[in-house]
Structure 1
Amino acid sequence: MSSIDFIIFAVYFVLLISIGILGVVKAKSSKKYMLADSNLGVFMLFGCLTAVFLGGSSTIGSSQLGYEVGLSGFWFVFAMGIGITFFGLFFLNKILNMNVLTISELLYRLFGNRVRIIGAMITAMYTLMISVTQVIAIGALLSVIFHWDLKIAILVGGGVVFIYTILGGMWTLSITDVIQFSVMTIGMFLIMLPVSLHSVGGIGTLVNVLPSSHLSFTNIGFKEIVGYFITYTLGIVVGQDIWQRFFTGKTKRVAKVSGILVGLYSALYSIVMVVIGMCAFVLFPNIQNTQNVFTHMAFETLQPGLLGIVFAALGAAIMSTASGTLLASSTIIANDLLKPFFFKTMSDKQYLLLTRLTTFGLAIIAMVISLWIKEVLVAIDIAYAILTSAIFVPVILGLFIKWITERAAFLAIIISIVTVFIGLAIVGPNSNLIIILAIILNAITLLGASYYDNNLSKIAKTKNS
């Protein structure tokens, strides 16, 4: 990399920290800190929603899939985008009408404190682990760019992200996410894609030289495609980071329109990243570690200046997800575990301080995990499996079926968690059958136990009368 590339990257980091410092002045209430005062228009909310789910795994993973399996790698990111659109169209109205801040607060309204506590623990663990993976990813990127030791790179990259998140909360993130969305779009759509296609001689040449399997949208296999929708679409629907972004919209219509735009953008972004990976397959067919496809392609094809912008775009994708998931985790812990049980009578100013301190504490924990954990991807697979199988069914059925009972919801979540852990122990973390089985058992328990509880209640009332 040239001096201009380093300068671009450094200026970008300074800009993000400066916005965080400004956020201390602006975010003077808990609502501004956690929801940016629910005042975002369509463009800003669309940018925020897009930035929070298009992280390092979406960008690097899609180009890797494009290299390995071609166009069928499209389904990975698209499944996430459709989850956001699905949530916005079919569930957002009901949840907004309940005036809740978190998933676990919704579970409390539906099923009581026991379910709230276990729901808060699951969703907070999930969002924190997502943040950890992004901190590791930004560390890996900085390590490649500046030739730093990985631990130093993690401390610097994670430090930048967490500083502006702790200082300004959602007020800061609503601005940084729009900036990062814009940088991502420019870097990937207007620089990386055209340069990649030019390097292989254009779209016609790319189509002619690729194996036919790389031009099929089903090459990856039907089972894998279904797995993406089960794991990522359902997981996104009950993702606290996504809910919290939706809640920042000025109106319900703004939120719905933004959700639809995210689905469309996810399709375009997925195609772009997959095509970049396919171009790399033509130019560099012998890359041993396919996780490096994107960075290898960038280093080999981009001129100085452009390289700095594209790496800033990749950094933007990673950092926006890291910051959003950290804030989501701290919001859950402050709102659903600390405030209702330990600080019931605190003022809003005290609650704001509590949330900032919680964010700071979780940032430290995330950094420590990022530096020492060895099986982070396994941890993420477990967290995603538990979130999807344990939380999705109670949330969705609880919103639409009024006779679900608290005991049934609690039992359903416990049974799902036990099923996931037993399944992981037997077949490992990569089987979607575990999640499907846990979801089925969750639904059967929820409906069966609720039916039993309601019948028992009717019998008791009959005897009393």
Structure 2
Amino acid sequence: MLMNMIDVAIIITYFCVIAIVGVIGMKRAKTSEDYTVAGRNLNFFMFTACLSALTLGGAATIGTAKLGYQFGLSGMWFVFSQGLGLIIISLFLAKKIFNLRVITIGEMLENRFNVEARLISSLVSATYTTMLTVTQVIAIGSVLNVWVGWNSTVSILVAGGIVMFYTVLGGMWSVTMTDIVQFAVMTIGIFFIMLPLSLQKVGGFSGLQASLPVGHFNLTATGGLDILKSIMLYTLGIVVGQDVWQRVFTAKSLKVSRIGMIASGGYSVLYAVTVAIIGMCALVVVPDLAVPQNAFATIAMQALPVGALGLVLAGVLSALMSTSSGTLLASSTLIVNDVIKRLFMQNMSEKRFLQISRMTTLAIGIFSIVCALWIQDVLAALDIAFAVLSGALFFPIILGFFWKRVSARAVFYSIIASTVVIGISLAKYGTTSIIPILYGLITSIIIILILTIVEALRKSASDHIQM
């Protein structure tokens, strides 16, 4: 069953509105800081809305509904872990990050260590943010394929193209303005339309309880290992993610960044529970769904009337598009600021920076769309992205903040070694295994400790000889 033409018209209108808002945002992107961090001038509401829209993307919506369909309430841990990461940043790192006055994580690592650490971390982070962009584009194709009836290729090209269009033009200002619209639509669609109508379809929460086994209401039904995997992948990944840090840099004050991250983290927890329940409703309504990844789209088709369905789909697309635009911009910023500018064009003008940023964003956007046509599983692509990021960068960044004796050489080699180990482990054990992230973290901390201690001993011996 496909959507009514009224609902399709709502979606097309929504696409047009987002494109227009993105063009308006382009007029405010006049400098490199405007393009990359919105001039560091967002107030509490704008900051919270944009940060929430960034973290709660396609994988959060489609993936959590899928997990809710399969495991019940314990499907919330995936998104809950991301909200936990935001709260941890607010409590322990917000002041340090905000006071850096940089644009990328790589800049921080160069200031703390050396240019080599900046370059290797930026390449790893760019891989993560690009893969995250791919997951959102995949989810867009999945939703439009089930609801509107467009084939996946057309869906990806249309929606991915719109995201690429406004991100290329206006950078963070376009992303910010569209995110505010998308956050509002997403909130209304998920909390005020989709949740109540899904529960109504199954006879309310009591009907849901009566229709599903007790295990589906157990928060640990997925198993302790999977919960640990979610925390290690997504909490640690959020803490050291360039896309999140770049949003932190947009806040107009430290207070805004701290309170905004806590508010966004709390919103993420509510979102996680809500979408998991929607997935559980889908299990009651369509118990033999062949592709669990289509759980959200299928229950919407079953439960929502004409008009409401279009609004909810607009909300889902908002989640997808806001995250994909943020991660696309993060990838571009890393490549332009930490590689092109740092190595080849250190004295580039503001005008030249904007030109190269737009061209780079376009190139990464096209690459992400091509990858989305190749990789079809949202959660598999997301696991790859977070495994590389968390395993390779968590300890170098955190120890860089809190342990003054860590050496640049130790950080550089730990990032390279852990990235290689994670890649080999993913190939051997698969994306669903917790082993790659564990091996990556263990490799990272061991190399940092050994090389830091060796260099300290060498320095001590050298000082002793000189005496």
Task: Give the C-alpha shift of residue 95 in structure 1.
Answer: 2.0
Q: Which residue of 2 aligns with 1:150?
A: 152
Task: Give the C-alpha shift of residue 139 in structure 1.
Answer: 2.5
**How do residues 79-90 of structure 1 correspond to structure 2 at under 5 angstroms?**
79-90=81-92
Task: Give the C-alpha shift of residue 24 in structure 1.
Answer: 2.4
Identity among equivalent positions (%) equals 45
Q: Which residue of 2 aligns with 1:356?
A: 358
Question: SS of the residue aligned with 2:290?
Answer: coil
Q: Which residue of 1 aligns with 2:213?
A: 211
Q: Which residue of 2 aligns with 1:47?
A: 49
2:390 to 388, 391, 413: 388
Task: Give the C-alpha shift of residue 367 in structure 1.
Answer: 2.3
1:106 to 87, 108, 115: 108
1:280 to 279, 282, 305: 282
**Which amino acid letter does the alignment assign opposite residue 257 of structure 1?**
I
Per-residue CA distance 1:409-430 (angstroms, 9 max, x = gap) = 1121122123223323432232
Question: SS of the residue aligned with 1:287?
Answer: coil
1:95 matched to 2:134: no
Per-residue CA distance 1:242-293 (angstroms, 9 max, x = gap) = 1111111110110010111112111111111111111222222121211111
Paired with 2:165 and 2:427, the residues of 1 have a C-alpha distance of: 38
Paired with 1:67 and 1:382, the residues of 2 have a C-alpha distance of: 23
Cα 1:374–1:260 shift into 2, 3 Å: closer
Question: SS of the residue aligned with 2:27?
Answer: helix
1:188 to 187, 190, 214: 190
**Which amino acid letter does the alignment assign opposite residue 150 of structure 1?**
S
**How do residues 53-452 of structure 1 correspond to structure 2 at under 5 angstroms?**
53-373=55-375, 378=380, 380-452=382-454
Q: Which residue of 2 aligns with 1:24?
A: 26
Contact in 2 for aligned 1:19/1:176 (Cα 8 Å): yes
Paired with 2:375 and 2:196, the residues of 1 have a C-alpha distance of: 38
Cα 1:412–1:70 shift into 2, 3 Å: same
Paired with 2:51 and 2:268, the residues of 1 have a C-alpha distance of: 11
**Which amino acid letter does the alignment assign opposite residue 124 of structure 2?**
I
Task: Give the C-alpha shift of residue 380 in structure 1.
Answer: 4.2
Per-residue CA distance 1:376-432 (angstroms, 9 max, x = gap) = 765543332121111000000011111111111112112212322332343223221
Contact in 2 for aligned 1:326/1:363 (Cα 8 Å): yes
Please give the root-mean-square deviation of Cα atoms over the aligned residues, in Å.
Answer: 1.6
Paired with 1:427 and 1:293, the residues of 2 have a C-alpha distance of: 27
Paired with 2:376 and 2:41, the residues of 1 have a C-alpha distance of: 41
Question: SS of the residue aligned with 1:119?
Answer: helix
1:13 matched to 2:8: no
**Which amino acid letter does the alignment assign opposite residue 466 of structure 2?**
N
Per-residue CA distance 1:338-357 (angstroms, 9 max, x = gap) = 00111111122221222122
Contact in 2 for aligned 1:142/1:157 (Cα 8 Å): no
Question: SS of the residue aligned with 2:273?
Answer: helix
**Which amino acid letter does the alignment assign opposite residue 266 of structure 2?**
L
Question: SS of the residue aligned with 2:370?
Answer: helix
**Which amino acid letter does the alignment assign opposite residue 406 of structure 1?**
A
Normalised by the length of structure 1, the TM-score is: 0.96
Cα 1:401–1:230 shift into 2, 3 Å: same
Per-residue CA distance 1:206-265 (angstroms, 9 max, x = gap) = 222321111111111111111100111001111111111111111011001011111211
Task: Give the C-alpha shift of residue 374 in structure 1.
Answer: 6.3
Question: SS of the residue aligned with 2:121?
Answer: helix
Contact in 1 for aligned 2:193/2:308 (Cα 8 Å): yes
**Which amino acid letter does the alignment assign opposite residue 262 of structure 1?**
S
Runs of 4+ in 1 over 6 A off after TM superposition: none
Cα 1:215–1:377 shift into 2, 3 Å: closer
**Which amino acid letter does the alignment assign opposite residue 327 of structure 2?**
T
Contact in 2 for aligned 1:139/1:156 (Cα 8 Å): no
Cα 1:146–1:69 shift into 2, 3 Å: closer
Paired with 1:111 and 1:282, the residues of 2 have a C-alpha distance of: 55
Question: SS of the residue aligned with 2:186?
Answer: helix
Paired with 1:273 and 1:96, the residues of 2 have a C-alpha distance of: 32
Paired with 1:76 and 1:371, the residues of 2 have a C-alpha distance of: 24
Normalised by the length of structure 2, the TM-score is: 0.96
Paired with 2:37 and 2:136, the residues of 1 have a C-alpha distance of: 22
Per-residue CA distance 1:282-314 (angstroms, 9 max, x = gap) = 222121211111111111111110000001111
Paired with 2:348 and 2:234, the residues of 1 have a C-alpha distance of: 37
**Which amino acid letter does the alignment assign opposite residue 234 of structure 1?**
L
Paired with 1:380 and 1:280, the residues of 2 have a C-alpha distance of: 23
Structure 2 stretches of 5 or more lacking a match? none
**Which amino acid letter does the alignment assign opposite residue 153 of structure 1?**
S
Paired with 2:135 and 2:428, the residues of 1 have a C-alpha distance of: 25
Contact in 1 for aligned 2:236/2:394 (Cα 8 Å): yes
Cα 1:372–1:200 shift into 2, 3 Å: closer
Question: SS of the residue aligned with 1:249?
Answer: coil
Structure 1 stretches of 5 or more lacking a match? none
Task: Give the C-alpha shift of residue 80 in structure 1.
Answer: 0.8
Contact in 2 for aligned 1:89/1:259 (Cα 8 Å): no
Per-residue CA distance 1:56-87 (angstroms, 9 max, x = gap) = 11111111211111111121110011111111
- Between 169-178 and 370-379, report the one with greater CA deviation: 370-379
- Between 424-433 and 54-63, report the one with greater CA deviation: 424-433
Paired with 1:279 and 1:426, the residues of 2 have a C-alpha distance of: 36
Task: Give the C-alpha shift of residue 447 in structure 1.
Answer: 1.9
